Amino acid sequence: MKDTTTIAAIATPLGNGAISIVRMSGDNALSIAAKLFKTSSLKDFNDAAPKQAYYGTFKNGKISDKCVAVYFKAPNSYTGENMVEFQCHGGVRLTSEVLRSLVDFGARPATKGEYTKRAFLNGKMTLADAEGVVDMINAESIAGLEASYRLMNGDIARTIDSIQDEIIDLISGLEASLDYPEELEEDVKRNGVDVIKNVHIELKNLLTSAKFGRYIKNGINVAIIGIPNIGKSSLLNALLKRDRAIVTDIAGTTRDTLEEKYEVEGIILNLIDTAGIRKRTDDIIEEIGVKKAVKVAKQADLVILLLDSTRAMNEEEKHLIETYSDKRLLKVYNKCDQGIHPSISKDDNIFISALTGEGIDALTKHIVDIFLDNHLDNTGNIITSERHVDAISRALDSIKSCNYSIEDAPIECTLVDLRNAYSSLGEITGKTASEDIIDRVFARFCVGK
Amino acid sequence: MTNFSEVLTNENNFSNISAKDNVFDTIVIGGGHAGVEAALATARKGHKTLLLTLSLDAIAFMACNPSIGGTAKGHLVREIDALGGEMGLNADRTALQLRMLNLGKGPAVHSLRGQADKIAYHHSMKNVIENEKNITILQSEASEILTRGGIVTGVKTTLGSIYYAPTVIVATGVYLDSDIIIGEWRDYTGPSGFKRATHLTKSILSLDIPVRRFKTGTPARVDKNSLDLSKMTVQNGDDKIYPFSFMTDGYIENKCPCYLTYTNEKTHKIITDNIHRSPLYNGSIKSTGPRYCPSIEDKVMRFADKSRHQLFIEPESLLTNEMYVQGMSSSMPHDVQLLMYRSVEGMENVKIMRYAYAIEYDCIDSLSLLPTLSAKHIKGLYFAGQVNGSSGYEEAAAQGLMAGINAALYLEGSEPFVLGRDEAYIGVLIDDLVTKGTNEPYRMMTARAEYRLNLRQENADVRLTPKGYGIGLVTEERYSRYLKRKNAIEDIESKLSRSISPKEYGALFTAKGENIPTNGLTYEDMLKRSNITAGDLTEYFDELSSLDKRAFAEVETRIKYKGYLDKQNANIKEFKKLEERLLPDDFDYLSLEGLRLEARQKLDKIRPRSLGQASRISGVSPADITVLMICLFKMKGD
């Protein structure tokens, strides 16, 4: 069970400032922090002294940041509850990853005004301040859930709507079979297996896209990799439609990574040209470049592996595909103006010529499509979307449990999960189940004496 | 009651009262399923109760189907029984057969349904109230509810008599200004030819309680001798199922079968050919009918692709040949009805004894009630049953019981008794009525109970009997039965926590095709497996063989459901956080600047008891609730 009493939020304005503050409030603030933050001055951050700044490392999987953490013990904190503040390096991406880590470990993204509300409820504010809180929350209620919902990308809104629709259709069928066992002739349970599988896939996709949504504001990092002299820098120039990188036919010309922003259909692509990757190099500077290229590619959202269309893939290139098997990887064949080797399938590969510009627009469109197809939430409201991600993953958990229960447990048990899934999504759309279910039962089934 | 005594002494008429005959603690208007439970509850709690009825022959009369229970309704009956009500006992006394619905599903949705002998049911219940020493029964039509300064003082009848009481419970069912409609013909009577009540609506309106018009219907009653039952499927009751009441010992004898037949394309053609003559379709009935109780013309018109609809032929009583045709309620003209009914297999020569009819009646807007079922602005005035816009005997009885309990508690100066949505179907029913209101006659459904895994028929006693005992309605005998059962359950639970070795359980696992683990297992662990049942355990293990079967089944349910009960309990915990934050009765919502106007108006109208109830009002948003929460806190601080 997720702990709902501990909340987390980014306290400083979003943007690329030097320092950002992420804070947490609630019973488990300290224990969640201790799981993620290590400092050399303490064995365990659970033993932290209140109001003291600790320098250490915030680490969760790939994210790692040197930062300062301060623990405030209830009631001597802003909210009057246990609080932990992380002063980490600025930058939207890092800050929101820190927030997401706290959520992964049991905190809930705070709603607007929740800190102030808690502060007031715990007697930390005066009456005059409280009036302000009422106004603020009220302002939110007018803009409210629905407004932020409408502001969301139309695709996401429609997808969640239609998922909720599928769920409630199934709920109403199952409910009808419980309330009208003698009258309902349709086999509603059998069809449920398929519906649940569908919804499961849809929610998973949604979650993936929601995660991508977080990157949108800062751009999608696209790393171009390949063995030396395959035309990576030419591709960068072709995509940018100007000469940014130095292009020669000497292998290993690019020694450092080059990064360029490039906007297409409202989406920012951070194109990263890397040094050609080869196993052995005598040049120390080139070797550093290669190492950096590997690292950059590992962190990118999308990796373009550039290949030569006039020959079959070599061992080194096959190795690269394996190295990046956990990444979203696009195989692009350069030099298509010089012909296509018979071993290369024309169907699922992309062919370009960085030299003539052939296929470049198609490649750009392809990259954008990969992300647009995932219904990117490009409104960029990271806190809101953090809450949405949270709601969607809870819905997904409930649906996962349905996968099992629809086969093996009684209908009323599956309904517990289905209703939980519906109400989790309802936190985004504002739609609640109660009357909807009854309405559907009678709209869809001929039941009643 | 000080207020009431003042009224009595100041009342001019009081000097004319020659005897104390005219003074009661409670007056119940109406002797239907709600009225009798209400009267029994106040009387059993020691309050002098007057029961006014339009007809003594209509006491606890089953005006529609001759059955009690069914999905969700069976749960209500068990709950009424667990709290010390009468419906379950009376249904058991007069049952013709019992069936357990939903046996193919989990125990939370098993629902008991019983055919009741409607004549016996009426007689038996009439007998119970006649022999209740604190009840006075009088056949007389109430014409006016008397109030003074916002408190109820009594009831006036059409004969001009005045009866005084500090509490009045209105349980008038569908009798207020009711019309019976059969095709083009409209008659001004109550159901089944009984007299209707023509004065009380005006009195209710004058108390500023909004009145609406609802519609419902009933099928024809046909002569059993005119049916070819051999063409129908016989439906017998189930053997050996536990009856409605926790007080009834043994099993109910199967006295009489029901029969199943179907409408067909011919029936549907007769209906579509004559649809212009249906008052529901030609506009002469404008009131709201229930979706869950559609007339046959509704079913045929709305679900045109269905080639047949089920009809259950149910016995009305062992004392009559009248049979009830469930599934074929209608307001078609009588000649069309005869054609329709005769088109059904087995009913080719049917003789209709009473035609199907629709009935329109006045009821109140249940949003004008508190969760105690008391009118919001008149102290001592309660409403229960179909007059609140509900439908069904069980829904009525449940409200009657709760109104009776709360009237009694009010008389005693005690805290009101309100059941939560997580505690009982009764709680869901009343909360829906007073929080969301209803635009059609409200029927209980398991789908409405979001915490239904906890609200099982079989644990109704565990959930509610201690509460009923605390209130004083549950007898010592019932309470000691409950304690015995509770102890049996706890005893079994502790027995099942014992761990035994693979050697001991090997035989069972082999027989069930389960892999045998190397470690010891508790009986509880074994029961968690889907294909091992309590029955298997009793069969294989001597120390479990003599356990109380019914208590063991309850423990089995708790174990098998555990994962889901845990999920539901987590939801309940969230729900309770808001439910336990009570709002003051006199909260001034209208001047609460922080709230949106719509929320202010809704809250002012409904006057929720708790933040939780407030959150279920349509038009009140989560942000409104936060504002309320802050205001509550501020008030405490001041």
pLDDT exceeds 70 at position A15: no
Return the SS3 of B636: helix
pLDDT tens, position by position, B3-28:
666 666 655 444 444 457 899 999 99
Nearest CA among A320, A313, A316, A365 for reference residue A334? A313
Helix (H), strand (E), coil (C) string for chain A: CCCCCCEEEECCCCCCCCEEEEEEECCCHHHHHHHHEEECCCCCHHHCCCCCEEEEEEEECCEEEEEEEEEECCCCCCCCCCEEEEEEECCHHHHHHHHHHHHHCCCEECCCCHHHHHHHHCCCCCHHHHHHHHHHHHHHHHHHHHHHHHHCCHHHHHHHHHHHHHHHHHHHHHHHHHHCCCCCCCCHHHHHHHHHHHHHHHHHHHHHHHHHHHHHCCCEEEEEECCCCCCHHHHHHHHHCCCCCCCCCCCCCCCCCEEEEEEECCEEEEEEECCCCCCCCCCHHHHHHHHHHHHHHHHCCEEEEEEECCCCCCHHHHHHHHHCCCCCEEEEEECHHHCCCCCCCCCCCEECCCCCCCCHHHHHHHHHHHHHCCCCCCCCCHHHHHHHHHHHHHHHHHHHHHHHHHHHCCHHHHHHHHHHHHHHHHHHHCCCCHHHHHHHHHHHCCCCC
Average pLDDT, chain A: 77
Find the CB nearest B106 among A123, A140, A413: A413
- pLDDT for the residue numbered A65: 87
Q: Using 50, 70 and 90 to split pLDDT, how confident is the model at A3? A: very low
- pLDDT for the residue numbered A252: 57
Find the CB nearest A141 among B65, B570, B621: B621
Contact residues on chain A for B622, CB-CB shorter than 8 A: 141, 145
Q: Using 50, 70 and 90 to split pLDDT, how confident is the model at A381? A: very low
Find the CB nearest B564 among A123, A133, A413: A413
pLDDT tens, position by position, B430-439:
999 999 999 8
Q: What percent of chain A has pLDDT over 70?
A: 71
Contact A179 B327 (CB under 8 A): no
pLDDT exceeds 80 at position A434: no
CA distance A50 to chain B (A): 28
For chains A and B, CB pairs below 8 A equal: 128
- pLDDT for the residue numbered A379: 31
- pLDDT for the residue numbered A2: 30
pLDDT tens, position by position, B390-411:
999 999 999 999 999 999 999 9
**B414 CB within 8 Å of a chain A CB:** no
**Is residue B435 a contact partner of residue B613, using CB atoms and an 8 Å limit?**
yes
| Between A159 and A416, the higher pLDDT residue | A416
Mutate to test the interface with A, among B291, B429, B432 (most CBs of A within 10 A): B291
Q: What is the mean pLDDT of residues A429-442?
A: 67
Contact residues on chain A for B634, CB-CB shorter than 8 A: 127, 130
Q: Using 50, 70 and 90 to split pLDDT, how confident is the model at A150? A: very low
Average pLDDT, chain B: 92
Restricting to B residues 452-511, those with a Cβ less than 8 Å away from any Cβ of A are 452-453
Q: Using 50, 70 and 90 to split pLDDT, how confident is the model at A377? A: very low
Contact B292 A175 (CB under 8 A): no
Angle at A124 between CA A120 and CA A126, to 5 degrees: 75
- pLDDT for the residue numbered A151: 41
pLDDT tens, position by position, A202-216:
888 777 766 555 555
Q: What is the mean pLDDT of residues A323-336?
A: 83
CA distance A200 to chain B (A): 20
- pLDDT for the residue numbered B462: 97
| Between B568 and A374, the higher pLDDT residue | B568
| Between A342 and A28, the higher pLDDT residue | A28
Of all residues in chain A, the one with the smallest CA distance to B630 is A121
- pLDDT for the residue numbered A278: 67
Contact A127 B326 (CB under 8 A): no
Contact A117 B630 (CB under 8 A): yes
- pLDDT for the residue numbered A146: 38
- pLDDT for the residue numbered A292: 76
Restricting to B residues 256-315, those with a Cβ less than 8 Å away from any Cβ of A are 290-294, 299, 302-303, 306, 309-310, 312
Find the CB nearest B448 among A120, A416, A438: A438
Highest mean pLDDT among A13-27, A60-74, A116-130, B57-71: B57-71
State the first-to-last Cα distance of chain A, in angstroms, to the nearest integer. Answer: 42
- Residues with pLDDT less than 50, chain B: 1-2, 12-18, 638
Does the pTM exceed 0.80? no
Of all residues in chain A, the one with the smallest CA distance to B594 is A134
